Structure 1
């Protein structure tokens, strides 16, 4: 063997051994995922009975959950984020589902900051009380599933919550009185479209960072909404000065940032307080399909930023306030149908320049005939007056209108 050949052979042997040593070190490299976290997530997977699009297909024991599992993120070898929602988008939106139940072992993910298992449709069973051990949790999304049972009282231990979304499930029972006591960082709370009942807890007033609150379509009260009464809605909610979106009644004149009131589809009773007229920034008032009674306050005419008013399917009485004509620049939709309102219809409504929908149907207005001033509406596209006492033929001007 000549000198050059010997050198080449020696170099080959060196590189061969280096590659073996390096390859072996890679093969023996330990997983970065903490075994407690891996166990918790694998237990969740074991509770899933159907995963049609394979959201959890990469969750296998021979892979590292921190680096190779879809939807899992880690920091310093501990799982901090689990996100496997059923609705997601790349170029084309994908809508999938999973069947099964939540694992109590998820409560062992003590470094978890975000958990998103929303929009999976068929996740059922209770929310495990062990979730109360997730002391670092900031965001919990479990909406649009089929979860049942009550909201765990152990949630009161989750002091770092910023978002709690349990929307559109089958949760029932009352909300524990102390559950919100320590949630001073909570910014968004959505418990809507469930079967929750009983009073809204006084501790809701402790959520001083809250700006979005949605409790609509539950069965939270059959008591009075009169803000001067000792009613089911706690006056402590008046402490929430950052609130922009409200779905429960309250001492509303103190909620200076309020833009949206959404009360639809509850079992709420009582009257709309005159103090509502102090909410100068209000854009939407939606209280339809409740059991509200009494007269519409004249102070509604002070809310010149209102674009939408939905008060249908209540038990409101009295006349339609002429002050609604003050909403002349922004109001687009006015629905007062299916109440007990009496006539006449105030002609001041003609001042509302951009009104597109006016629904006064099924009120005992005693109209008799179309008011002639209706022909002055310039952009009105939808007008509903069934069940208001109209008689005779339609006016000739109606054929040439925008209706």
Structure 2
């Protein structure tokens, strides 16, 4: 009995101490909305963090009223929706910090919030708030941190509302109409961090003049504002403690000039991005001396030329060097790269760089290497095997030789457009089970697809087109269930099409939505970019768009048999190309289930029968080609099929079609094969007479053919079409090589 009383006393003491709790951090758990009501039991609570919990639903004004003594409230990325609970927030008189970013809140910032005189920090970014935010912020003169970017504020945000905010240190605005100059005002604050990106500025895309008086900046982001003029080197001179500068996605022109005074160095600068402007000329020779501690340098997508400055080798802390899509020339900068001991990401694609990467690979520990579309040569030797790359892109260069079996498979591997030979080694594929993309297109690989390829369960893209691979397409390939794009075209694969292709997703996967996906305006360019040819277009897709692609291309092979009706179950497929094979049978009616199909090419085969009427339901079809088969009957005439002309149907002697603008019905003509004096006649062939005369004897067949060709111009045209089809079937692979 005494022991029980003692335990109860201990629990009472513990609960009493718990009731005096002032700070509670429950972030990143699995609490729902019910947790808010239970917090009333802690009357002394001053700081509460429930961010990254599935709170969901709307915020109750009453619950916030019960928490009126809070000074700090974190509800970032909590799945909140509904109207911003102004009345509840206005009763929290002691509130100093409020964080509601990455939710789905609507409504406006109510005027009653102006009474929160202790307010220091406000973050309502990435919601759907509307109205005019300027009057509200003008009253919060004691505020230090404001983050209101990426909402739906309609009115123009005026910077003069901050004229009296002497305590303002950090300001984040984005995706807004901004007035920086009028009416005239003088800043009473010294910002430490300013992020103003994706805005529509009033002053014809010029840098706001108030920045000329800011000298304490540590972080400055003016990206995506369409700013013009020369590179603002005065920003560097005015802010010697600047650590991060982002000026990407603007329209700055002229050279990238830096002060040549050796006494001026940006010793604190760690990140600099001037990507995607119109800067030209050579990179300054002193760039490495001026930014000695730089960790990230992104000068890609400009018009820089000349050699890469040797002073970059002085950046011993450099981890990311991104110079792609310029006109840099000269050899691979081995001297530079050998001294950048911390380098992990090297991207110099789409330049005019020569030489070899071998010595660079030996000494660096790279995770990302992109050097595509240059003039680099050499082979992938055993030295490459020491690296565990996440991405390797050396496509469209002059690499050659055989792949070593010890090479470790990166997550993204692009070798297309080189001269690699030999077979694809088994061990080559078995070292990385997180592989996402493989592109070996347009090389000289031989043999078959290694069995170890089928074990890469996470593979999303497999492109082996334009090689000399052969053998049957194994049904094991259907183990790659998450494939978006499978391109085996322009090889020598034979046999039938596996029916189990219906087990592959081909884009039919629901991509989960995360609130942080809405932060894409701040994301850098994707490190992984795929070059694809689809619907006769050469396109580039970043890794952030991969899930939107879905294609199956088996064209230009030696495939036989019928088209499996199971292919109709590929509901997410956008492009299907089975052309230039030896497929026979009917066009599957199940194709009507390809509701997302945009390009369907089954031309140059031996298909027969009619075009299924059900295909009229394919409303997104933009490319359709059934030419050079043995199809008969009439082509479809409704919906998308009104947009297809004779090029989609030619080479089918017994197929007729109407255009949507004409009532005439005629088969495709080859005027270059006909004499000028022959007149067009729309007469029908007597197929019974033709078949009977063909069955009698060889002489009578010749006589009948000569007679028909002499007297009937239409039959003359049919004969030339027959000859053309035979030529394409027998020598098609040479005609389309």
Q: Distance in 1 between matches of 2:486 and 2:397?
A: 24
> TM (normalized to structure 1)?
0.67
Equivalent position to 2:271, from 131, 148, 163: 163
Does residue 450 of structure 2 align to residue 326 of structure 1?
no
For the 8 Å contact 1:58–1:70, the answer to whether it is kept is no
Q: Distance in 2 between matches of 1:218 and 1:262?
A: 14
State the SS of the aligned residue for 2:249. Answer: coil
Does residue 242 of structure 2 align to residue 242 of structure 1?
no
Q: Distance in 1 between matches of 2:405 and 2:220?
A: 42
Q: Distance in 2 between matches of 1:202 and 1:254?
A: 17
Deviation (angstroms), 1:147: 1.7
For the 8 Å contact 2:168–2:189, the answer to whether it is kept is no
Deviations 1:161-198 (CA, angstroms, capped at 9, x unpaired): 11101122222222122211242221121222222222
Q: For 1:41-80, what aligned pairs fall within 5 Å after superposition?
A: 54=156, 57-59=158-160, 63-64=163-164, 66-67=166-167, 71=171, 79-80=190-191
Does residue 385 of structure 2 align to residue 284 of structure 1?
no
Equivalent position to 1:394, from 489, 496, 500: 496
For the 8 Å contact 1:295–1:319, the answer to whether it is kept is no
Q: Distance in 2 between matches of 1:65 and 1:320?
A: 68
Give ranges in structure 2 of 5+ residues lacking alignment.
Answer: 1-153, 173-187, 349-356, 506-737
State the SS of the aligned residue for 2:259. Answer: helix
> TM (normalized to structure 2)?
0.39
Q: Distance in 2 between matches of 1:283 and 1:59?
A: 48
Q: Distance in 2 between matches of 1:70 and 1:114?
A: 9
What's 2:563 paired with?
A: none
For the 8 Å contact 1:59–1:65, the answer to whether it is kept is no
Flag the structure with more relative contact order, 1 or 2, with Cα contacts below 8 A and sequence separation at least 6: 1
Deviation (angstroms), 1:303: 1.9
State the SS of the aligned residue for 1:180. Answer: helix
Equivalent position to 2:466, from 347, 363, 368: 363
Task: Call closer, same or farther: CA 1:232–1:149 in 2, change over 3 Å.
Answer: farther
Q: Distance in 2 between matches of 1:237 and 1:362?
A: 34
Deviation (angstroms), 1:309: 0.8
Q: Distance in 2 between matches of 1:219 and 1:300?
A: 35
What's 2:258 paired with?
A: 153
Deviations 1:321-350 (CA, angstroms, capped at 9, x unpaired): 41423335232321122x232312352543
Q: For 1:3-402, what aligned pairs fall within 5 Å after superposition?
A: 54=156, 57-59=158-160, 63-64=163-164, 66-67=166-167, 71=171, 79-81=190-192, 83-87=194-198, 96-98=199-201, 99-102=204-207, 109-120=214-225, 122-133=226-237, 134-154=239-259, 157-221=265-329, 223=330, 231-248=331-348, 251-256=360-365, 258-264=366-372, 266-271=373-378, 273-274=380-381, 275-280=383-388, 282-288=389-395, 291-295=396-400, 298-299=403-404, 301-304=406-409, 306-312=410-416, 314-322=417-425, 323-327=427-431, 329-337=433-441, 339-350=442-453, 352-354=455-457, 356-365=459-468, 367=470, 369-372=471-474, 375=477, 377-379=479-481, 381=483, 382-390=485-493, 394-399=496-501, 402=504
Larger Rg: 2
Task: Call closer, same or farther: CA 1:189–1:315 in 2, change over 3 Å.
Answer: same
For the 8 Å contact 2:265–2:289, the answer to whether it is kept is no
Deviation (angstroms), 1:245: 2.1
For the 8 Å contact 2:400–2:418, the answer to whether it is kept is no
Task: Call closer, same or farther: CA 1:362–1:145 in 2, change over 3 Å.
Answer: same
State the SS of the aligned residue for 2:472. Answer: coil
Deviation (angstroms), 1:149: 1.9
Tell me the C-alpha RMSD between the 2 structures: 3.5
State the SS of the aligned residue for 1:253. Answer: helix
Task: Call closer, same or farther: CA 1:113–1:340 in 2, change over 3 Å.
Answer: same
Deviation (angstroms), 1:300: 7.1
State the SS of the aligned residue for 1:285. Answer: strand
Q: Distance in 1 between matches of 2:209 and 2:303?
A: 23
Q: Which 4+ stretches in 1 moved above 6 angstroms?
A: none
Deviations 1:347-403 (CA, angstroms, capped at 9, x unpaired): 254364325245444423153x53447547453623201222446x63355556537
For the 8 Å contact 2:230–2:255, the answer to whether it is kept is yes
State the SS of the aligned residue for 1:71. Answer: strand
Q: Distance in 2 between matches of 1:195 and 1:320?
A: 40
In the alignment of these two chains, the number of paired residues is 320
Deviation (angstroms), 1:259: 1.7
For the 8 Å contact 1:200–1:234, the answer to whether it is kept is no
